[in-house]
Structure 1
Amino acid sequence: MGAGIVGLAVARELAAARGAEVTVLEKEGRVGAHQTGHNSGVVHAGIYYPPGSLKARLCREGVALLKEYCAAHDLPYHEVGKLVVASTHAERPLLNALAERARANGVPGIAELDALALREVEPHAVGVGAVHSPHTAICDFPAVAARLAQDVAELGGSVRTGHPVRAIRERSGKVEVLAGRRRFAFDRLVVCAGLGTDAVAGMTGAAGDVRIVPFRGEFYALRGAARDLVRGLIYPVPDPRYPFLGVHLTRQIGGGVLVGPNAVLALAYEGYKRRNFRNFRQILGWPGTLRMARAHWRTGLKEVYGSLAKSAFLKGARRYVPELTAADLERAPGGVRAQAVARDGRLVDDFVVDVHGQVVLVRNAPSPAATSSLAIARHIAGIVPALVR
């Protein structure tokens, strides 16, 4: 369930490696309609994640698999490199720790640069130091998703768009699913529903101790000649308290450069617009949401201000590329991130996959899920056979 890049990768893996007859159910009229089609296109190298975590392992495996897959299918994949820049000396300890973590995760080519050396990589960037990851890449995730859907079809499976799931029940060793106007009976169900995870989990009876809280990420894009001020990817040193990376500059396939995203609490699971409050009762009704808000209200206010004021985005970008001006930034489409939040208000950082009867439920798959999608698929394929009774 779910024709984003993770769901399609899982379907392809089950069909190819397990010989399963696979059906993918997707409520939208196309594949990759939500998180897959609303991201910056960065193939993360594995710099940020705690060594030994599922994220760290599957990201490193996923990078290799994705690079190979793009090459095999003539899909764009460019190693433009990433600089994580410390703008003050106070950030140097965090930067050094980040370099150690990257090496512990096996990220190749990691180098620590001083203020002069970082300008050899990004001539228009400034900072007191940086970590350089030369093999961090960009790709076209919607194109990868489309190719995965084609693979599923070629392996004898089907991708049924326009099939919103309305009900699920387990009976006599089968999983019965009402989707669109049809009833299906499956041996197993794998749920990769992203922003719709909670709704589907409720249908299966798997309540759990985490809920999806959506965060809207807004972007600007650089205009004209300003794009030449950025060669690859320029990131701030991340705050270790949050799974969000802060406003950064990202070169894209096709030559554009994005600035952003921020991370603003959305009050609709598909809250791409600011005034969409469709799911505010469910989101604010989860105890973890209010506990999270109480713990991080100062950061939340800062993100809201950034959402309303272009000058805040510009200030964040100019911290690393001071030549930028307000005229260089124009609004670009944003996205919504499905972030799991625990009952105690903790932002769940690692990937989370639960098993509930005959159902495998992907509870939390934020960034770097797109990067890791082919490795996540192998991981889940190893779980599915364990459900045989």
Structure 2
Amino acid sequence: MFKFVLKRNFHNSLRLNSDFSHVVIGGGIIGASIAAELQEHDGNSVLLIDKHESLGMETTSRNSEVIHAGLYYPPDSLKSKLCILGKDKIYHAWETNKFQVPLKKCGKWIVAQDDTEAEYLEKVKAIADQVNVPVNYLSTSQANSKFPLIRANTAVLESPTTGIISAHDFVLFYQSRFENSDGTLGLNTKLINLEYNQGNSNYTLTVQGEEGGGEEEPMEITSDNVVNAAGVYAQEVSNLLLPEERHYKSYFAKGNYFSYSPEKPLGKITDVLIYPCPNPNASSLGTHLTFDLGGQLRFGPDLEWLDIEKADDIDYTPNPANLTKAYEAIKTYFPDITLNSLNPAYSGVRPKIYSREENMKKFADFIIKEEEGFPGFVNLLGMESPGLTASWAVGEYVKNMYHK
């Protein structure tokens, strides 16, 4: 657990009535970004707590590590605005040598195999044009000439600002900023309870640490403000505080990833990411082809809704039963793939705000809001993709909620 001594004179907020000005719950990529932004603002004293032994151990470490361009989301949505702003901040810092996080601006193709899918690409291009994200069409002959192992029967839309990044190093970037600004990091620290003290207009958090494999005695911490960035646990954290009639229900969509080991040499397959056109009203972008910074190909995520109500019940074991279905999906754009060349590798879980049925009917945006009646308590719910790309912008967005 974190080691610190609570002293009132260490607190620099205006009211001086709490141990910290802000507590950020959840040390994934988004929580770490928010904590760094808040701690760097003059006068703040921020505590970042996470239940794991290091930051970024859940959703952050279980995704495609893609820098998304911002093509798919309604232009007025938070997902669109924060994805594009976050992407731009990443690339600007990288291009000006202010960002030592490994990344590659590799680009991606979205491939259409029939006229219906080509119509979908037209809609994606219209959104891209509206939000000033560069895209361009390639002819199928150009595409087939460049990467003959990739099938694109009808159309190819290229996104040159899509990239890949080391999620692990990205989290460390935020952690370094936070700790270099004298933020307090509480690892192996689980939130037990959260209460609003109306008289003092602050919050009491009951936390419990783990040391040497055993649980420590719970302790209470007070804070003027609380940020709930708990990812798959965010609804549960929110429900500790809000009255029952305002409780949120948790929904989870698992994405399985598959490693690739070709049974025979095929030559160069691609050096851009390959995305199929997703099914209408789907909750994911389809089982796509991506690769890590070392060039190792992988496929995923697929989409598997989980029939559970609590994040503690998530089983992250990749589901081998989904392998054949993933193979059939991949084969539509990579016909030379064989079933035996794929193996279940890992999985991640998207924290959803709507059920499977609701997701078919409406767009699920990020929820980032101060809860009415609980001043200084900011909820972040449904922080799924493009959360990694958007994280820097999300941190600034939350900071600006407190410091307009």
Superposed pair shares fold, TM > 0.5: yes
After superposition, the C-alpha distances for 1:127-173 in whole angstroms (9 at most, x for unaligned) are 21111001210001121112211211110102111110001111111
Aligned to 2:380: 362
- Listed as ranges, the matches of 1:187-266 within 5 Å are 187-205=224-242, 208=246, 210-223=248-261, 225=265, 228-266=268-306
Write the distance in 2 (CA, Å) between the matches of 1:17 and 1:136: 31
Between 263-272 and 141-150, the greater mean CA deviation after superposition: 263-272
- Cα shift readout 1:266-311 (whole Å, capped 9, x = no counterpart): 2252523469xxxxxxxxxxxxxxxxxxxxxxxxxxxxxx961422
Residues 283-298 of structure 1 mapped to structure 2, 5 A cutoff: none
Is contact 1:354-1:363 (8 Å) kept?
no
CA distance in 1, matches of 2:243, 2:29: 23
- CA apart distance, 1:20: 1.4
1:27 counterpart letter in structure 2: K
Match of 1:293 in 2: none
1:16 and 2:40 matched = yes
Asked if structure 2 preserves the Cα contact closer than 8 Å seen for 1:352 and 1:365, the reply is yes
Correspondence list, 1:33-112, <5 A: 33-70=57-94, 71-108=97-134, 110-112=135-137
The 5-angstrom pairing of residues 90-169 of structure 1 reads 90-108=116-134, 110-127=135-152, 128-169=154-195
Residue 282 of structure 1 corresponds to which residue in structure 2? Answer: none
Q: Residue type of the partner of 2:192? A: R
3-state SS, counterpart of residue 401 of structure 2:
helix
- In 1, distance between residues paired with 2:368 and 2:42? 19
In the other structure, the counterpart of 1:382 is 400
Distance in 2 between the 1:256 and 1:117 partners?
A: 24
| Larger Rg over CA atoms | 2
Matches of 2:266 and 2:334 in 1, distance apart?
Answer: 10
In structure 2, give the amino acid aligned to 1:125. I
3-state SS of the aligned residue for 1:17? coil
For structure 1, the 5+ residue unaligned runs are 276-305
Q: Residue 237 of structure 1: CA displacement?
A: 1.2
Query: Would the aligned equivalents of 1:46 and 1:102 in 2 still touch at CA under 8 Å?
Result: yes
> Which of 315, 330, 348 matches 1:272?
315
Measured in 2, the distance between the counterparts of 1:312 and 1:13 equals: 42
Q: Work out the number of aligned pairs and report it.
A: 355
2:344 is aligned with 1:318: no
Percent of aligned positions with the same letter in both sequences?
Answer: 23
Q: What's the offset of the Cα at 1:77?
A: 1.2
Render the CA deviation track for 1:228-287: whole Å, top value 9, x for unaligned.
423221001123413311111012122111111111112252523469xxxxxxxxxxxx
> Any idea what the Cα deviations from partners look like across 1:175-226, whole Å, max 9, x if unmatched?
1111113211111001101100121011111554753311111011111556
Q: Provide, for residues 335-385 of structure 1, a one-character-per-residue CA deviation record: whole Å limited to 9, x for no partner.
A: 111111169834652111121212101022110011000101111111124
Partner of 2:341: 328
1:176 aligns with 2:204: yes
Relative distance call for 1:309 and 1:367 in structure 2 (3 A) is closer
**By percentage of residues, which structure has more helix?**
1
Q: 1:154 to 1:273 in 2, by over 3 A?
A: closer
Paired residue for 1:303? none
Counterpart contact for 2:239–2:247, Cα < 8 Å: no
Structure 2: state its 5+ residue gaps.
Answer: 1-24, 209-217
Partners of 1:226 and 1:167 in 2: CA distance: 55
CA distance in 2, matches of 1:175, 1:343: 34
TM-score norm. by structure 2 comes to 0.82
* Closer, same or farther: CA 96–344 of 1 in aligned 2, 3 Å: closer
In structure 2, the CA distance between the partners of 1:116 and 1:365, relative to structure 1 (3 Å rule), is: same
The TM-score, its normalising length taken from structure 1, stands at 0.85
Instruction: Provide the alpha-carbon RMSD of the alignment.
Output: 2.2
Q: 1:344 to 1:315 in 2, by over 3 A?
A: closer
CA displacement at 1:114 relative to structure 2: 2.5
Task: Please state if 1:28 is matched with 2:52.
Answer: yes
2:366 aligned partner: 351
- Residue identity opposite 2:34 in structure 1: V
Secondary structure in structure 1 of the residue aligned to 2:189 = coil
- Gap change, CA 1:318 and 1:18, over 3 Å in 2: farther
2 CA distance for matches of 1:28 and 1:381? 24
Separation in structure 2 between the aligned mates of residue 78 and residue 101 of structure 1, nearest angstrom:
24
Partner amino acid, structure 2, of 1:377: G
- For residues 366 and 344 of structure 2, the distance between their equivalents in structure 1, rounded to whole angstroms, comes to 31
- Distance in 2 of aligned mates of 1:210 and 1:343: 15
**Aligned equivalents of 1:18, 1:239: Cα separation in 2:** 47
